[in-house]
Amino acid sequence: MTASLSMPDFFISLTALQKEHGLTSTLLGIGPMSKRIVRVTLQVANRRNFPIMFIASRNQVDLKGLGGGYVCSWDQMSFVETIRELAEQVRFAGLCYVCRDHGGPWQRDSERREGLSPEAAMEIAKRSYLEDLLRGFDLLHIDPTKDPHAEGANELETVIERTVALIEYVEKERRKRGLPEISYEVGTEETSGGLTSPEVYESFIKRLNAILARKGLPLPAFIVGQTGTLVRMTENVGSFDAGAAEALSQVAARNDAGLKEHNADYLDDSILLQHPLLGITAANVAPEFGVEETAAYLELGLVEEAEQRRGRIVSVSNIIEIISKKAVSSQRWRKWMAGKSQDASVEDVEDNEELRMRITRICGHYVFDDPEVRDALERLTRNLAALGIDAEGYVDDRIDKSIDRYATCFNLQDLTSKLLEHSQPQ
């Protein structure tokens, strides 16, 4: 699985291709919402010959001592090992980068609920980053913008101070251990975070880079900027601003970095196709792929129920009921809701069939690793296989099509070969 180009070298080659040969591509950061999504991503990237960036949040993948991750109970070591095993299984032969998405203090939901002090939150962030480093992560997103003690958004000076402190810590540990160079991503997509106008965006970058350069620390490869995207339910309810995106990308390029867009889920093709032309270097997509996998399971559950009514299946898996119950009780849907639904009680949701199924589609991926859900999925697959239905293939195909849409719109076909060819000595 080891990439033949380090992330710093990868970024250098990508930038050179853009400047020297007019390359227009937008990299795709993929949230590892399930083991299946990781495997299908590797298969699509193999077929399309594009580089992968798996972007894991701390809620998804983290140290067991910090609570672990909701995806397959992965910590950093098991996450990297799983990617390696799946890459060997599908004979992946391309570039694959393991990335930390939204690392930093208070980036686990539990840390904000507990109201950890700044000192405690920063120490925990360092522990998490150190494990990322030791397990071979290629890119770390340094995001100290959340703070339950701040009124509203953190001041940019505080963000800069904590960003520098965290990069300085990681670099000290990396150099002490003689580990390879890695890359960094900074900033936030949160509108309240302040990085919304080209002027503030550039001021942030210049002030941050000046301090990093003075301390002999690496400058960030990616700067996250707000392009107007915002994911709620199963829609992008924001208003994508092409002018702002182009302006931010030009600012980032002037400062030897790339604009990173978060929350690109559910955008129309007409918008995604513009991304390379606007100079958006990379975009992250996560919940959309998890929602697609959940939707596939629910469709198969409907088929199973129909076949039971026809007498072809004796005992159904009850996958729809089970995954719905688990998803609603997890309450992880609150962050994706809008309006009054965000504050609805679990009992109210369970009594509202339409709302319950919408929440199930949104948050089913949070409970894929629940033992009862896993057992139901296995039973579902067996029941349908007995009728000649390839449930596994159907789910894979749904996810494949979802990922492939981005590969097409972002002009990623054969990008791996172009990067590797350019990186070779002339």
Domain of residue 153, CATH code: 3.20.20.70
Please name the helix (run of DSSP H) or strand (run of DSSP E) that holds residue 168, with its range, or none: helix 156-177
Q: What pLDDT sits at residue 229?
A: 77
Q: What pLDDT sits at residue 95?
A: 97
Q: What pLDDT sits at residue 355?
A: 86
CA angle (233, 235, 241) in 5-degree steps: 130
pLDDT band (50, 70, 90) for residue 340: low
The answer, yes or no, to whether residue 235 has pLDDT greater than 90, is no
How many structural domains is the chain composed of? 2
Plot region of 115 (φ>0 → left; ψ -120 to 50 → alpha; else → beta):
left
Alpha-carbon distance of 121 to 110, in angstroms, equals 11
Structure tokens at 152: 């509203």
Of residues 20 and 425, the one with the higher pLDDT is 20
Of residues 238 and 273, the one with the higher pLDDT is 273
The answer, yes or no, to whether residue 240 has pLDDT greater than 60, is yes
Q: What pLDDT sits at residue 333?
A: 77
The answer, yes or no, to whether residue 193 has pLDDT greater than 50, is no
Average pLDDT over residues 7-22: 91
Q: What pLDDT sits at residue 422?
A: 84
- Whether residue 364 sits in one domain with residue 264: no
- Whether residue 280 sits in one domain with residue 381: no
Return the closest-CA partner of residue 253 out of 222, 212, 211.
222
Which residue is associated with the tokens 């390879």?
Answer: 180
Of residues 340 and 140, the one with the higher pLDDT is 140
Looking at the domain assignment, is residue 218 inside a domain? yes
- Whether residue 241 sits in one domain with residue 210: yes
Structure tokens at 210: 């000046």
CB within 8 A of 294, min separation 6: which ones?
323, 360, 361, 364, 365
Contact present, 11 and 138 (Cβ < 8 Å): no
Q: What is the extent of the structural domain holding 233?
A: 7-285+411-423
- Whether residue 216 sits in one domain with residue 243: yes
The answer, yes or no, to whether residue 425 has pLDDT greater than 80, is no
222 beta partners = 185, 258
Which residue is associated with the tokens 């990868």?
Answer: 10
Lowest model confidence (mean pLDDT) among 170-179, 327-336, 354-363, 388-397 = 327-336
Average pLDDT over residues 73-82: 97
Residue type at 248?
Answer: L
Q: How many contiguous H segments (helices) and E segments (strands) does the chain have?
A: 17, 10
Alpha-carbon distance of 228 to 221, in angstroms, equals 21
Distances (CA, A) of 404 to 47, 202, 352, 392: 10, 33, 35, 18
pLDDT band (50, 70, 90) for residue 107: very high
Alpha-carbon distance of 382 to 50, in angstroms, equals 34
Alpha-carbon distance of 251 to 37, in angstroms, equals 34
The answer, yes or no, to whether residue 40 has pLDDT greater than 80, is yes
- Whether residue 128 sits in one domain with residue 16: yes
Looking at the domain assignment, is residue 159 inside a domain? yes
Q: What pLDDT sits at residue 350?
A: 85
- Whether residue 192 sits in one domain with residue 253: yes
- Whether residue 260 sits in one domain with residue 185: yes
Strands 231-232 and 235-236: antiparallel
Question: How many other C-beta atoms can be found within 10 angstroms of the C-beta atom of residue 311?
Answer: 7
Question: How many Å from the N-terminal Cα to the C-terminal Cα in the chain?
Answer: 26
Looking at the domain assignment, is residue 255 inside a domain? yes
Average pLDDT over residues 265-278: 95
The answer, yes or no, to whether residue 67 has pLDDT greater than 70, is yes
Percent of the chain with pLDDT over 70: 93
Looking at the domain assignment, is residue 404 inside a domain? no
Looking at the domain assignment, is residue 403 inside a domain? no
Q: What pLDDT sits at residue 410?
A: 98
Please state whether the predicted TM-score (pTM) of the whole model is above 0.85.
yes
Residue type at 121?
Answer: A
Alpha-carbon distance of 373 to 319, in angstroms, equals 7
Residue type at 160?
Answer: I
Looking at the domain assignment, is residue 406 inside a domain? no
Q: What pLDDT sits at residue 234?
A: 60
Looking at the domain assignment, is residue 2 inside a domain? no
Q: What pLDDT sits at residue 394?
A: 98
Q: What is the average pLDDT score of the chain?
A: 92
- Whether residue 160 sits in one domain with residue 67: yes
Please name the helix (run of DSSP H) or strand (run of DSSP E) that holds residue 78, with its range, or none: helix 76-89
pLDDT band (50, 70, 90) for residue 61: very high
Q: What pLDDT sits at residue 336?
A: 72
- Whether residue 353 sits in one domain with residue 206: no
Half-sphere exposure of 410 (CA within 13 A, CB side): 28
Average pLDDT over residues 25-48: 98
- Whether residue 324 sits in one domain with residue 262: no
Please name the helix (run of DSSP H) or strand (run of DSSP E) that holds residue 52, with its range, or none: strand 52-56
- Whether residue 382 sits in one domain with residue 266: no
Q: What pLDDT sits at residue 231?
A: 62
- Whether residue 99 sits in one domain with residue 22: yes
- Range list of β-strands (E), 90-144: 96-103, 139-142
